[in-house]
Amino acid sequence: MAGFFIIMLKPDEKSFIEYWSVNRLKKKKSLRQFTIGLPMGVLIVLALFANIISGWHKQASMQMQNNGSLFITIIVAAIAIVIFITLFSIRHQWEQNEQRYNELLLKQSKESASQ
């Protein structure tokens, strides 16, 4: 009797399966996905700039004043950080939804096989 569990999908799980089966490829290529990680990346970069501007590290402040090209390097690095965090969070969110979709499909197939 240990193997007789009734597996049923909840209504929200069924609606997610329907939604994700239709939109999974659209969501992978959507530019609207940038709104997921963009605020977090910008927030991190703003915190880094606040750290640089505050001048708490005296030698770093002196290096910034003496070397003008260092500021350009920091700007390029900041843009790279924002792009990386944005793309990583998009991919991570899509992978989580894809994993949930596959798990629910497996659960649904077990449900239909038990009936």
> What does the buried/exposed string (b/e) look like for 74-109 if buried means 16 or more CB atoms within 10 Å of the residue's CB?
eeeebeeebeebbeebbeeebeebeeebeebeeebe
Has residue 44 got a pLDDT over 80?
yes
User: Span 3-31, mean pLDDT?
Assistant: 78
pLDDT of 71-105, one tens digit each?
899 899 999 999 999 888 888 888 999 999 999 99
Q: Report the alpha-carbon distance of residue 115 to residue 110 in Å, rounded.
A: 9
Residue 33: how many other CB atoms lie within 10 Å = 19
C-alpha angle 23-25-27 in degrees, rounded to nearest 5:
65
With cut-offs at 50, 70 and 90, classify the pLDDT of residue 1: very low
